[in-house]
A and B are shown apart, each in its own frame.
Chain A
């Protein structure tokens, strides 16, 4: 019983390779069932996301099983076997457990601390449970991975700070305004990055969306897409009288909003706070505007700096998370090893029970006249002796990490347990 992980991710394979390996839609279930059918595989789970494709299995012989899984992968996706070798990584046993825990805690993600991966892992497990392709090992591994991820989330601040430009923009907006759903937002220009940031801001909920662009048609199209209202470019300053958040990326070579214009705007809007994000390069908003009271101007470099600081913080937190993973790997290992001793422990217990029963029968036959109470007392004592006698070897088998096989053999020999019989059970 050994855990095995075979997979590829954003670090080992480009997107064009990753998409070839993806198990999307109905392919996932087909793949999962086919994988489980392999004679070397006892349990199986497939995790397939845009950044990684990983196959988790419970196998007896990792060497044989990995070969067989590689062949399965190349056949299933119709890719040459050689093409696989460079992209794939293989983790066995304790390293496999560590890898799954790191994936669940998003320590192996492109953006450390991103929350989506845990959900994706839960979904993959859910499907495997539904299709009954898992058993004792992978069930435990997955449940443990989920609890490790939760522990990492509660004990570290790994996911606390925004690490993308658009997230940073939203986080900042929330520190300026109490309730974004009461705020009016304007997108100035139609740069790709600004559009992305705008979409993110809109999903967090703003009251009204305005779109302004030099080409009015483009503004209308984008306004349509963002469920907002198009504004003629010449009128955007007028609209700033009621706009609270502005994202700007027009591609203009000069400033489209100057300090004096903004001062007038602020006077008219009675100094109500404004948050302006200038993503354009070269900048479209006069940086001097930031000096005006209640105006908060951030450009792309400012936001990048916020993101970089947050990433640095996350890396520090990731170190703490790795220590949590190490701890949990150890407890998982203990559990797994205790599982290996189950047949010996079971056989030992049976042997003891058998002896107890025989001796009890003999004794009770010799004492025909005793009452029920005395009988119970004798049985109670016999049980106590058996339990006390087999407790130390059982505990040693469960706890010992090294020489487990030797210990198991010694116990079998000492108590006269037939090894093969108990293995079968």
Chain B
């Protein structure tokens, strides 16, 4: 049952992704609504899947790579819907849904086995720390997509070639402000995730900071976003530079997330 739910959600996300890519070439009101409908059904199935898995295991399903990637994707979809309904950003789905699909497909390729919870994870910090981290990272993922949209639109305006997506992409200022808002939303959550992680580490391993690879990469990510915010406030680093930094930031998140899993080293080895 749990597998079927996951596969169905993946299928709906896949359909929404395909249509949102065709949307780049030709858009219509019907396809835009269809994307939301398909992604919406996918999201509902995905949510039921997470709840179902929680029901089986008895703990929040974010304790292995499959679960973590799936939950991370779920957070991105939540933010996608919030932005879609609140701001109605044209073509947003074309830039976000492919990320959603790629994360889901990678999650589907990981082991879905439900094991008893490792003693180190048996803590109330599990829910708090990981939820904060994932929601913060989801905001960064959205800012990655928006940053990409900014670079595309900036290219059109700067090079004075106004064909293609120029007409349909939002204004540079809208994209820039949205990018900034997402980072200001994600950064405090991510900071709290690091703090709660340190507190948890102290109770689990007796040390606040262990210099394990995930911790190091998280710190790098934190610094990158701190630079984005600081440079914006002090030197006015906005527009293209902010967009590029938000793209780099998300790449470090992906390295922290997947790269370290491949290394199979460090204390976060369960993820």
- Chain A contacts to B: CB under 8 angstroms: 160-161, 172, 174-178, 266-267, 269-273, 290, 293-294, 296, 298, 302, 305-306, 309
Instruction: State the Cβ distance, A240 to closest chain B Cβ, in Å.
Output: 15
Contact check, A271 vs B235: say whether CB atoms are below 8 A apart.
yes
In the complex, A175 Cα to B162 Cα: how many Å?
Answer: 10
In the complex, A267 Cα to B167 Cα: how many Å?
Answer: 30
Known: A306-B160, A306-B162. A177 touches B171 (CB 8 A): yes
Instruction: State the Cβ distance, A265 to closest chain B Cβ, in Å.
Output: 12
Q: How many residues of B contact A (CB 8 A)?
A: 24
In the complex, A271 Cα to B174 Cα: how many Å?
Answer: 15
In the complex, A309 Cα to B158 Cα: how many Å?
Answer: 17
Contact check, B239 vs A178: say whether CB atoms are below 8 A apart.
no
Chain B residue at minimal CB-CB distance from A168: B162
Contacts of A172 in B (CB 8 A): 157, 162
Contact check, A273 vs B172: say whether CB atoms are below 8 A apart.
yes
Partner of A269, one of B169, B174, B236: B236
**Interface presence of B173 (CB below 8 A):** yes
Partner of A178, one of B156, B157, B167, B177: B177
Known: A271-B239, A296-B158. A174 touches B163 (CB 8 A): no
**Interface presence of B166 (CB below 8 A):** yes
Give a binary string over B167-202; 1 marks a CB under 8 Å from any A CB, 0 the rest: 101111110110000000000000000000000000
Instruction: State the Cβ distance, A271 to closest chain B Cβ, in Å.
Output: 4
Contact check, A273 vs B241: say whether CB atoms are below 8 A apart.
no
Partner of A305, one of B153, B157, B160, B171: B160
Contact check, B240 vs A294: say whether CB atoms are below 8 A apart.
yes
Contact check, A293 vs B177: say whether CB atoms are below 8 A apart.
no
Contact check, A271 vs B158: say whether CB atoms are below 8 A apart.
no
Partner of B157, one of A160, A271, A296, A309: A296
Chain A residue at minimal CB-CB distance from B170: A178
Contacts of B237 in A (CB 8 A): 271
In the complex, A294 Cα to B241 Cα: how many Å?
Answer: 10
In the complex, A306 Cα to B240 Cα: how many Å?
Answer: 23
Known: A273-B172, A309-B162. A175 touches B236 (CB 8 A): no
Partner of B236, one of A160, A174, A270, A302: A270
Name the residue in B162, B163, B169 with the highest tally of chain A Cβ atoms < 10 Å from its Cβ. B162
Name the residue in A172, A270, A271, A272 with the highest tally of chain B Cβ atoms < 10 Å from its Cβ. A271
In the complex, A305 Cα to B161 Cα: how many Å?
Answer: 9
Contact check, A176 vs B236: say whether CB atoms are below 8 A apart.
no
Contacts of B240 in A (CB 8 A): 293-294
Contact check, B239 vs A293: say whether CB atoms are below 8 A apart.
yes
In the complex, A302 Cα to B162 Cα: how many Å?
Answer: 11
Contact check, B171 vs A178: say whether CB atoms are below 8 A apart.
yes
Q: List 21 A-B contacts (CB under 8 A).
A: A160-B167, A161-B167, A172-B162, A174-B171, A175-B156, A175-B172, A176-B157, A176-B173, A177-B173, A178-B174, A178-B177, A266-B236, A270-B235, A270-B236, A270-B238, A272-B238, A294-B240, A296-B158, A298-B160, A305-B160, A309-B162
Chain B residue at minimal CB-CB distance from A291: B158
Chain B residue at minimal CB-CB distance from A310: B162
A-contacting residues, B39-73, CB 8 Å: none
Chain A residue at minimal CB-CB distance from B163: A309
Chain A residue at minimal CB-CB distance from B174: A178
Partner of A273, one of B162, B163, B169, B239: B239
In the complex, A161 Cα to B163 Cα: how many Å?
Answer: 11
In the complex, A413 Cα to B4 Cα: how many Å?
Answer: 76
In the complex, A266 Cα to B238 Cα: how many Å?
Answer: 11
Contacts of B241 in A (CB 8 A): 293
Instruction: State the Cβ distance, B181 to closest chain A Cβ, in Å.
Output: 13
In the complex, A178 Cα to B176 Cα: how many Å?
Answer: 10
Instruction: State the Cβ distance, A25 to closest chain B Cβ, in Å.
Output: 40
In the complex, A177 Cα to B241 Cα: how many Å?
Answer: 17
Contacts of B236 in A (CB 8 A): 266-267, 269-272
Contacts of B170 in A (CB 8 A): 178
Which 3 A/B pairs are nearest by Cβ-Cβ distance? A270-B236, A271-B236, A178-B173
Contacts of B167 in A (CB 8 A): 160-161
Give a binary string over B222-249; 1 marks a CB under 8 Å from any A CB, 0 the rest: 0000000000000111111100000000
Partner of B238, one of A175, A267, A271: A271
Contact check, B239 vs A290: say whether CB atoms are below 8 A apart.
no
Contacts of B238 in A (CB 8 A): 270-273, 294
